[in-house]
Structure 1
């Protein structure tokens, strides 16, 4: 389990990756976590975490992005057109 010395909320940051069939996978970064080893890790909010187990765990969760060799952190100004389209399509589904 990773321990954090500090958690800093952020906006306009994403973790972008692609699937095996080259579809865009994009996660909104909710915060940066500074680990005990002084590494900075992007943290994402788990959707519907409030409903996940309301009896034993009523709090929302922040998790690290899934492990990947090809993903990267990007600011919204760095997103490619296809990444922006994916982001817009996800917003329409919400």
Structure 2
């Protein structure tokens, strides 16, 4: 039997922003300013419209890189993945 892992919690942070681009830009700003906080998993950040919260769009690619963590580019980026 696999060991049990602790349940993770999600903080839903509503905004007054009216476009996905603005919301993604806020996510980038939050990652830039709070990226040093080890308990925040910015790679898993998603966006949703207020009335469609179960339809989520990833902000970052977050693909695994060989020995270098995960891709830090925006989702659907052009070119190769990079930290």
TM-score normalized by structure 2? 0.23
Larger RCO of the pair (alpha carbons < 8 Å, separation 6+): 1
Q: Kindly indicate which of the two structures has a greater share of residues assigned to strand.
A: 1
